[in-house]
Structure 1
Amino acid sequence: MTALAMAILSAFQGLLDDPAGLLSEGSANPLDRDWENADPDDPAWEFLSPQALPDPGTGCIIGVIDDAIPFVHQRFTLPGNLSRTASVWLQDARFRSDRGGDLPSGAEWRGAELSELLARAATGDLPGEDAIYRLTGAVDLAHPAIPSGAFETGHGAAVATLAAGFDPADSRARNHPLIAVCLPPRITADSSGVLAPLPILTGILFIITRARRLCRFIERQGGLPHGSVRLPVVINVSLGLTAGPRDGSTLIERFMDAVSARQADDLGPVRFVLPSGNHRQDRLRARLRPGQQIGWRLPPGDTTFNAIEIWGPPQDHAPRGDLQITLTAPGRAPATTALTLPWQYSVLSDPDGRPLARAYYTPHRLRDGRWRDGIVAIALPTCPERLREPFAPPGEWRIQIAEGAPDGLYDLSAQRDAVIRGFRRGALQSWFHDPAYRNCDARGFPILTDAQNGGDPLAIRTDTVNTYATGDWPLRGGSAYRRNERATVPTALLNDTQPGDCLAPVDQAENNACMIVRGRDSGSFALSSGTSLAAPQLARWMALQLSQGKVLDSRAAIRRLAESQSARHAPTPVVDFPARFPEF
């Protein structure tokens, strides 16, 4: 635990230093951070109005980390223009020098302040919700970052309202306050997603810290003994990656497992829900043995980098450069790495000496103390944005595990290369090409598993799950068709070939792949799809179970409860919670 704590502090400091340029100018906290900052006594800084406080015995906090969460949406309010959003952290907003002294960046707004702004909007003093987003810094068109908070429909709006949105008149609404974290737009704009771990990790820390303080605030307001209010917390993170070790050893996974396994004295259980992913059929996973090779196809016209990760079998000794790979670009001679020290890299160049790709040596330590060799290969864009810039030739590259590598299976995964709607396009997904991999059967129906594929394909569908979601505790949510309650075709598979621990209906049917979701403004709606929408439905369901006193002390216990409430629980239970538009 000490090593994990030090790694988390290092990650937090990493966001403070902002080495990747994630934050806009004026967002970073220039002050000496007060890590033990106690909430001020100013009534305007209260978490919630007295009429909006949850019941200490039946409440459950819902945390959401996403892009552009509409925190004053009507579904996050109670009658009388009272906010149910207890706290929101806008990580990329201009820093508030009078608030949030313990935050590395951005602005925090609390429920009492938001209720006041909602009341002003109701009387016409502020011209609607959009004015609130501008006043709080959620929308700042002077910032150089993409103003995703101004998008009429966005990922965060759909996810947050599914996870924590209630009709204001719903008797359950008051017992489910929202703590929200809006990520910097540069995170969502990055087509690979590799910039997200640090802001997500700090977002988790924020939610847990504010949940503790909210419990103490409820005690003070109700005259209750210190430590007597211990509300449970469910945190939804509808984000993910397609490349990674998939062994539960990343910092985010270790932290989520540690938080879930430890019962704090001053807070209820903390549970996490993540999407299983949407890349089952995209040929982003492969398994090779030493000497085997597979095609890696880079599409023409791609203005972004393409990356793959190779992870070797566990070893009992420290890394010593046992893993080497051979890359062959179209029309070029094979080039083999010669890596010996962590974070060394090899450069693959064309005959004129211009770089085409790099391979980094990235071994890491497992939770049981063993090691895994790893290599990350990054190819340049196939379409440079400026004349005379080097570029990677499009077409089929070849990747081979060198003959001298230790025996065993080597996991390959291509990193995702896509952005959500509203952000700059130009990213085109690379994939593995394997002649033994079949997309459809003789009837034209999609092949859904490696067993159905037959033969011995190197490209696989198994273990295509979101690489944030391979720890021991978080619930992995897959999406199902509402018509037949089967897992959707794109839903990624776990290592045991299941499409998640639980499913939630998202798409209407195979030929109607969408569901109605809420937009940024109250009353607006959009159509969307994917396991990002299944996860918040499961988070909402789990919050309701915890508020009823259900004991969810393991992933298996959560699944058993879902099976007991599901009409269909074989092989994967479907939790059909009505979180949709009642008017449709």
Structure 2
Amino acid sequence: MPLHWETFHSQDLLSDVADYRLSRPLMHTTSEASQPWWSALVELQDISIREFEERVQSRFPDYLVIPTDYDADDRDRVEETQFVSIFARKPLLDAFNRHAAEYSVIGLTLGTTVAASDLPDVDTNDDDSNHRKIIEVPEGTVITAVIDDAIAFAHNLFRDGLVSSRVEFATILPTSSEQLSQGRPSGRSYSKAQIDALLREYTTNGLLDEPAFYAAVGLINARSKALSAVALRRSHGTHVMALAAGHSMRDAPNDRPIICALLPSRVTEDSTGQNTLPSFKLALKRLCNQAARFRLPDKSKPPVIFNFSYGNFAGPHDGTSGIDRVIDRYFGPQTKKHDADQTRQIVLPAGNGNLSRIHAGLNLQNAKSKPKGPSWKLDFVAQPDDRTSSHLQMWMPYHATNPPPRFVGVRVTVPSGPTSKTVYVSGNTGQRLVDEQGQEVARLTYRFDGGHTRRGVMIFSVNPTAHQSAIDLARAGRWRINITSCDMGSSDDVQIWIERDETLPGFLPGGRQGYFDNADYVYFNALGAPLPVDPAGTTSSIHRAGTLSGYACGKTPMVVAGFTQSNRLLSDYSAAGPITPSRGKKKANRLGPDAAALADNSPVLTGVLSAGSNSGSLTRMGGTSVAAPRVARLAVQMTSEGVETDRNWLWSLAEAEDPNNKAAITRTGGGQVDIPVDFVLPEKG
């Protein structure tokens, strides 16, 4: 089908990616609704939630729902800036994106569509009073909080008896369109009393009917088009939570309660990370509210350790992204201002993108000399049968002037197709690739990310290469990106990341990860094994260094890499720093991960054992996602012993345990930490 580029005037949008996604046909959202609800995260400035809601409702009645997790105090509080998870319809989101100042909105992150199939049509007892009672716990209690997908929370490793759960609170975030229209966007939540009642109901002759239990709580529904990995042999959330807090029933401690939040399946099906942040913020708010219910004998609140084994590839990687600031709000210095009476820490994985060829760094030292100035060429490969959009971000250096210099100009050539005109930094025009019906296939735009980041970003977005309908598919193959220096200085760097776009284990095939494929990138060593670090003296613009998860660039979280047990080497995929210093700073928040924990038993026997979806089962899973919960488990134990667990503690511990560490600190931090996890033998139940 003939394609051609056309010039359009860029609008002053809060989010080009949100605009691109909202402009796609509904088939790209997998929603059956003609006017679907979307989850979103808005950043408000100098306005209360209540006033914001009133302002919106006066113009867009019934187009906004704010979760009930925000109580009266939350809604009346005016802060300089605050993040709020919302549910909204497309016309309102478009208004936020185009007329942000009218609503005091300074940031917008689009989540996922919310369809009726997200929540099975079953009855549960969701008595809100059960979730507000004070929970008395013994001295030495430390709470483990897990945010993940598909957590089989009735597993025997999360119980202290046949029909007694250690899970004090579980919330399932998927929400139906019907609930939204009734103003109840809370998903489903279960207290320990409710979980225990269901365990009693579905246990016969000492055995739990787990399919019936999970059908009752809405995690399994054969009639639904949405897939829950709890129905499969292995589920990511169950595996992770068992490593963080799993214990044999007969040895289960009474001072290790669990609270957990299950993210919507649509969030985890689309692994770009764009979908995750609104749900993560809502889950974080909800679990922090629940953690505040616990009381020690002296009436103080026990500490809580969070684990969030998710990540992404893109973002500014300088600690100023939305998720970095959300985490800093709940776990950083700001926490003392809002929640001074409860200690909280969070553990994140470093990411698995080290060998994925998703990062490039451009500077004058690796540029090619051309008559029009120094230039670079990057070959971005869009894979066939990719059923989700792909996004590439080119982040400019920070510069004190406003507007910033015109660092570079960018052109894109379609596989066996036309080349766009040049889009310049600080320009007000973009390029749009359309087919002969006028359907948009790809887009190249520039915008300046103000606020905390204060850096420009060039965004290239491309449609799926496969779908049920073929009217607006992008071409699979090699998209040539030509970048020419305009005003780059000798110390300037342009950092480029391809957003994560791959199907996660346990979900239907959808995304396939795009990657860079330049000839000067050396992938293998002389023996044919993948090189885990950039070779010395390389002139390639594509780097392994700098692949650290875009979620893990803040100064607050404990960030964990993964190592392999048999050879005591960092797992090849384990992502690395460094990251970029934020505006006005000479040093970045971190060099890379803080430490490394076990992620693989050997290069052949990859992954580690942990809970499968069914009680009594163990399955194998790898990645830094399974290294992080080991550190969370250790942090819980050490916190109960009075140790102040934070990044400095983890780094110092790793240095003490691994004094001969020879790996670069940008990959391993302080070193490797051995943290045993023993589930004993599988039990009945």
Instruction: Give the TM-score of the pair, scaled to structure 2.
Output: 0.73
Residue 47 of structure 1 deviates from its aligned partner by 7.1
| CA deviation string 1:351-409 (max 9, x = no partner) | 88664311233432364xx610012211122334324x133233222213343354421
Q: What is the aligned counterpart of 1:23 among 88, 110, 114?
A: 114
> Any conservation in 2 of the 1:242–1:414 contact (CA below 8 Å)?
yes
The superposition leaves residues 283-339 of structure 1 with CA deviations (integer Å, 9 ceiling, x where unpaired) of 100012463221112223333322211100012244579454211122334313547
* CA deviation string 1:246-276 (max 9, x = no partner): 1111121112123222336564321111111
Per-residue deviation, 1:166: 1.2
Give the superposition deviation at 1:7: 5.3
Q: Which amino acid aligns with 1:296?
A: F
| Superposition deviation, residue 519 in structure 1 | 0.9
- Whether 2:311 is the aligned partner of 1:240: answer yes
My pick for the range that moved more, 397-406 or 532-541, is 397-406
Please state how far the C-alpha of 1:180 moved relative to its aligned partner: 0.5
Question: Could you tell me whether the CA contact under 8 Å between 1:294 and 1:400 is conserved in 2?
Answer: yes
SS, match of residue 240 in structure 2: helix
Q: Supply the distance in 2 between the matched residues of 1:485 and 1:15 (Cα, whole angstroms).
A: 50
Matched, 1:347 2:427: no
Q: Alignment partner of 2:202: what SS? A: helix
Decide which of 89, 94, 111 is 2:192's aligned counterpart: 111
Which stretch of the first structure deviates more once superposed, 121-130 or 174-183?
121-130
In structure 2, distance between residues paired with 1:212 and 1:531: 29
Corresponding residue of 2:442: 357
Structure 1 unaligned spans of 5+: 29-37
Partners of 1:23 and 1:184 within 8 A in 2: no
Cα separation, partners in 2 of 1:96 and 1:22, compared to 1, 3 Å? closer
Shift, 1:538, TM fit: 1.0
Question: Which residue does the alignment assign to 1:485?
Answer: 568
> Could you say what secondary structure the match of 1:158 adopts?
helix
Q: Which amino acid aligns with 2:612?
A: G
What is the aligned counterpart of 1:455 among 521, 528, 538? 538
2:544 is equivalent to residue 464 of structure 1: no
Q: Tell whether 2:614 aligns with 1:521.
A: yes
The aligned counterpart of 2:475 is 393
2:199–2:208 contact (8 Å) kept in structure 1: no
Note if 1:503 corresponds to 2:596. yes
Query: What is the match of residue 466 of structure 2?
Result: 383
Moved more, 145-154 or 159-168: 145-154
Does residue 336 of structure 1 match 2:431?
no
- Counterpart of 1:564 in structure 2 is 656
Distance 1:256 1:486 in 2: 30
Amino acid at match of 2:540: P
Once the two structures are superposed, residues 490-539 of structure 1 have per-residue CA deviations (whole angstroms, 9 ceiling, x without a partner) of 11112179772111112111222222221111112222111111111111
What secondary structure is seen at the aligned counterpart in 2 of 1:11?
strand
Distance across 1 between alignment mates of 2:80 and 2:177: 26
What's the offset of the Cα at 1:15? 10
Deviations 1:72-114 (A, max 9, x none): 21111113632111111101156999xxx99732011011211
SS of the aligned residue for 2:284 comes to helix
Shift of 1:487: 0.7
Checking the alignment, whether the CA contact within 8 Å between 2:463 and 2:472 is kept in structure 1 is yes
Of 132, 137, 157, which residue of structure 1 is paired with 2:218? 137
Counterparts of 1:25 and 1:437, CA distance in 2: 46
State the identity %. 25
Q: TM-score, normalised by structure 1?
A: 0.85
Q: Show the counterpart of 2:203.
A: 122
- Aligned partner of residue 570 in structure 2, secondary structure: coil
2:522 matches 1:431? no
* Aligned CA distance change for structure 1 residues 152 and 80 (closer, same or farther; 3 Å): closer
Whether contact under 8 Å (1:507, 1:515) holds in the other structure is yes
Which amino acid in the other structure matches residue 170 of structure 1?
Answer: D
1:577 paired with 2:665, answer no
Cα distance change of structure 1 residues 395 and 14 upon mapping to structure 2, 3 Å threshold = same
1:307 to 377, 383, 391: 391
Question: In 2, Cα distance between the equivalents of 1:428 and 1:445?
Answer: 23
Contact 2:111–2:279, Cα closer than 8 Å, also in 1 = no
Q: Does 1:174 align with 2:243?
A: no
> Offset of 1:177 from its aligned partner?
1.1
When residues 140 and 443 of structure 1 are mapped into structure 2, their CA distance, relative to the original with a 3 A threshold, is: closer
Tell me the amino acid that sits aligned with residue 514 of structure 2. S
In structure 2, C-alpha distance between the alignment counterparts of 1:94 and 1:118, rounded to whole Å: 25
Quote the Cα distance in structure 2 between the aligned partners of 1:26 and 1:307.
27
Determine which of 489, 498, 505 is the counterpart of 1:414: 498
1:463-485 Cα offsets, whole Å, 9 max, x none, are 10110000001111111111122
Q: Is the 8 A contact 1:568 1:574 kept in 2?
A: no
Distance (whole Å) between structure 1 residues aligned to residue 185 and residue 405 of structure 2 = 38
Give yes or no for contact 1:474–1:555 (8 Å, CA) kept in 2: yes
Structure 1 residue aligned with 2:50 = none
In 2 relative to 1, CA 284–20 (structure 1 residues): closer, same or farther, beyond 3 Å?
closer
- The residue matched to 2:485 in structure 1 has which SS? coil
Matched residues in 2 for 1:233 and 1:342: separation? 47
The letter of the residue matching 1:86 is: E
Structure richer in strand, relative to its length: 2
**Structure 1 contact 414–430 (Cα < 8 Å) conserved:** yes
Distance 1:499 1:475, change over 3 A: same
Do the aligned partners of 1:24 and 1:144 also contact (CA within 8 Å) in 2? no
Aligned residue identity for 1:279: G
* Cα distance change, pair 95–180 in 1 and its aligned pair in 2 (3 A): farther
Distance 1:265 1:397, change over 3 A: closer
Q: Is the contact between residue 466 and residue 473 of structure 2 (CA under 8 Å) also seen in structure 1?
A: yes
Paired AA for residue 11 in structure 1: S
Superposed, 1:264-275 pairs within 5 Å as: 267-275=341-349
The one-letter code matched in structure 2 to 1:361 is Y
| 3-state SS, counterpart of residue 86 of structure 1 | strand
Which consecutive unaligned segments of at least 5 residues does structure 2 have? 1-42, 47-78, 94-109, 120-126, 364-373, 580-589
What is the CA–CA distance in structure 2 between the aligned matches of 1:446 and 1:27, rounded to whole Å?
40
Instruction: Determine if contact 1:120/1:126 at 8 Å carries over to the other structure.
Output: no
Q: Structure 1 CA distance, aligned partners of 2:518 and 2:172?
A: 44
Indicate the residue corresponding to 1:404 in structure 2.
486
Question: Residue 171 of structure 2 contacts residue 190 of structure 2 at CA under 8 Å; is this kept in 1?
Answer: yes
Shift of the 541–570 alpha-carbon distance from structure 1 to 2, 3 Å rule, reads farther
2:163 is matched with which residue: 81, 91, 103?
81
Report which stretch shifted further, 355-364 or 230-239. Answer: 355-364
Match of 1:538 in 2: 631
**Which residue does 1:184 correspond to in 2?**
264
Distance in structure 1 (CA, Å) of the matches to 2:538 and 2:498:
22
Computed over aligned residues only, the root mean square deviation of the Cα atoms, in angstroms, reads 3.4
* C-alpha distance in structure 1 between counterparts of 2:606 and 2:568, whole Å: 13
Q: How many Å separate the matches in 1 of 2:536 and 2:239? A: 35
Mark the CA change 1:464 to 1:357 in structure 2 (over 3 Å): closer, same or farther. Answer: same
Length, aligned pairs only: 550
Alignment CA distance shift 1:6-1:118 (3 Å): farther
| 1:307/1:94 CA distance change after superposition, 3 Å | closer
Cα deviation for residue 239 of structure 1 reads 0.8
> 2:147 aligns to what SS in structure 1?
strand
Is the Cα–Cα contact under 8 Å of residues 297 and 433 in structure 1 kept in the other structure? Answer: yes
Kept in 2, the 8 Å contact 1:487–1:499? The answer is: no
Give the residue type in structure 2 aligned to 1:558: L
* Residues 134-173 of structure 1 mapped to structure 2, 5 A cutoff: 134-170=215-251, 173=253
1:93-104 alignment runs, 5 A limit: 104=185
Aligned with 1:272: secondary structure? strand
Structure 2: distance between partners of 1:345 and 1:321: 18
1:134-157 alpha-carbon deviations (Å, 9 max, x no partner):
212222344442233322311111
**Does the 8 A contact of 2:137 with 2:294 survive in 1?**
no
How far apart are the structure 1 equivalents of 2:88 and 2:303? Answer: 29
1:11 aligns with 2:78: no
